[in-house]
Amino acid sequence: MPIATVNPANGETLKTYEAMGAEEIERRLQLAEATFRTYRTTPFAERAQLLGRAADLLDGLQQDIGKVMTTEMGKPVKQARAEAAKCARAMRWYAEHGEALLADEEPADADVKDSGASRALVRYRPLGPVLAVMPWNFPLWQVVRFAAPALMAGNVGLLKHASNVPQTALFLEDLFHQAGYPEGVFQTLLIGSGAVEEILRDERVKAATLTGSEPAGRSVAATCGDMVKKTVLELGGSDPYVVMPSADIDRAAEIAVTARVQNNGQSCIAAKRFIVHADVYDAFAEKFVRGMQRLTVGDPLDEATDIGPLATEQGRADLEELVDDATRSGARVLCGGERPDGDGWYYRPTVLTDISREMRIHREEAFGPVATLYRVSDLDEAVLLANDSPFGLSSNVWTRDEAEVDRFVRDLEAGAVYVNGMTASHPAFPFGGVKRSGYGRELSGHGIREFCNITTVWHGA
C-alpha cells in the first residue's frame, strides 16, 4: 500500500511519500536509543511541562489538524476537531497525574519485616523505545493515548502509522518537537507494514503496542513473542447494545444512532449488535431506524454532515460483502443497504434484522455505518447473544433494574460495561478488551504502567 493521502470523498491522491530506507530507519533507531538514556532520567516535573506545552500547541492547531484528518480518512470535520481537543485533554490529564500514578509503592510493614528487609518498595521504571503500530480511524487519538502515558513514564516512542494518514503522522512528530521534547523522544517512521517485523526484532526496541485488525495483532504478537517482548493489543470489536424493558426507550434509541455511526461507523468501540427485549423491540426499532434515516450523508468538510465517506475503497467493498452475504441468507434491510450515487467511498446508514448465526456479519466486525438488530425474550438470552462473538471490547446495557445491571456486569465478556450510555474512552479509565479484542490496557494508571519495569527494591537489615 503506498504511503499517501487519498481523499476518500473523491478518490483524489493529494500527497505521496517515499518510504524510509534502511539507512534512515537505522539512524532513527540509534537516535531513539541514545535519547532514552538521558530522557529516562528527566524529572517528572519537566516531563509534565513538556506534555502540557504539547497540549497547548494542539489546542491552537485544532482547525488545521482537523481538516487534515478529515481529508485523509473522511471523518466529519466537527468530529475531527473534537478528537484534537480530546487529545489535548488527555495530555493534560497525564501531565497532572503521571507522577502520582508512578509513585513508589510501600509494602505493608509486616510484609517488609517478614521478608527480612529493613525497608522495601516497588518502583516503576521506563522500558525504553516502544514501537506503536497505529490505525487510521482515530489518527490522532489512537497515537496520543499511547504517547502521553508512555512519554510521561520516561519511555521514547516510535510511530508506524497507517499508510493512508501520513500527514497526521508527521504532524504528531512535529508537535512533540515544537513542544520542546528532545530530538528522538517521539519519531514517526514512514514505512510500510513489511518493514515492521525487522524493527520489532531489533534489540533496541523494547516493546510494542498495536491498535488495528486481528491479523495485524497476531503478526505483531507472534514476532514479539518470539523475541520475548511486551505487547499491548487493542484489536477489533463487535460491541453489544442491550435494551431491556425498563429502559428509557426514546433515549436508548437516540444514543444508539450516535453509538453506531460515530466516526462514520469506523470505530472498534462503536455499538454494532443491537439486542432488544421483545417487549420493547418494535418501539425501539421504529425510533432507531427513523434516527438512522435522518442522518445527513455528504461532504465531511461540511459542518452539517453527519456521515462522511468510508476511509478506503476496500473498506467499503468489505462492508458491502458483509451486507450482501446477510441479505442472501435471509436478513431484511430496514434502511440503507446501498452506496449512494456519485464520487467517494460513501455508504448509507443501514439497519439489518433477522440475523442468523450462519451469516458472516454475526461473527465479523462491520466497520462502517451498518447495525444488526436482534430480538430476545429475556435477560438470559440477551447475555448469551451478547457473548456470542469472538470479540469482547466493550458493551452497552440499557436498564433501570439494578438486579439486571449486576447480572450484566457479572456476565458480559467485555473490557467495559456502559450502563444507560454509549461507550467512550477517557484517560482516567482503563481501555482494552478480552478474547480476540486483544489484551493489556491503555489509559488510566493501568495504561501508564504497561510499559514500565515493575521493580522490587529490597534493603537488608
SS (H, E, C) the chain: CCEEEEECCCCEEEEEECCCCHHHHHHHHHHHHHHHHHHCCCCHHHHHHHHHHHHHHHHHCHHHHHHHHHHHHCCCHHHHHHHHHHHHHHHHHHHHHHHHHCCCECCCHHHHHHCCEEEEEEEEEECCEEEEECCCCCCCHHHHHHHHHHHHCCCEEEEECCCCCHHHHHHHHHHHHHCCCCCCCEEECCCCHHHHHHHHHCCCCCEEEEECCHHHHHHHHHHHHHHCCEEEEECCCCEEEEECCCCCHHHHHHHHHHHHHHHHHCCCCCEEEEEEEHHHHHHHHHHHHHHHHCCCECCCCCCCCCECCCCCHHHHHHHHHHHHHHHHCCCEEEECCCCCCCCCCCCCCEEEECCCCCCHHHHCCCCCCEEEEEEECCHHHHHHHHHCCCEECCCEEECCCHHHHHHHHHHCCCCCCEECCCCCCCCCCCECCEECCEECCECHHHHHHCCEEEEEEEEEC
Query: Mean of the pLDDT values across residues 448-461?
Result: 97
Residues marked as catalytic: 234, 268
- pLDDT tens digit string along 327-384? 999 999 999 999 999 999 999 999 999 999 999 999 999 999 999 999 999 999 999 9
Neighbours of 153 (CB within 10 A): 25
- pLDDT tens digit string along 187-242? 999 999 999 999 999 999 999 999 999 999 999 999 999 999 999 999 999 999 99
Question: What average pLDDT does the structure give for the chain?
Answer: 98
- pLDDT tens digit string along 153-166? 999 999 999 999 99
Query: Mean of the pLDDT values across residues 2-17?
Result: 97
Residue 354 has a pLDDT of 98
Residue 461 has a pLDDT of 83
Query: Mean of the pLDDT values across residues 9-24?
Result: 98
Query: Mean of the pLDDT values across residues 422-438?
Result: 97
- pLDDT of residue 1 exceeding 80: no
Residue 194 has a pLDDT of 96
Q: Which bin fits 340, alpha (ψ -120 to 50), beta or left (φ > 0)?
A: beta
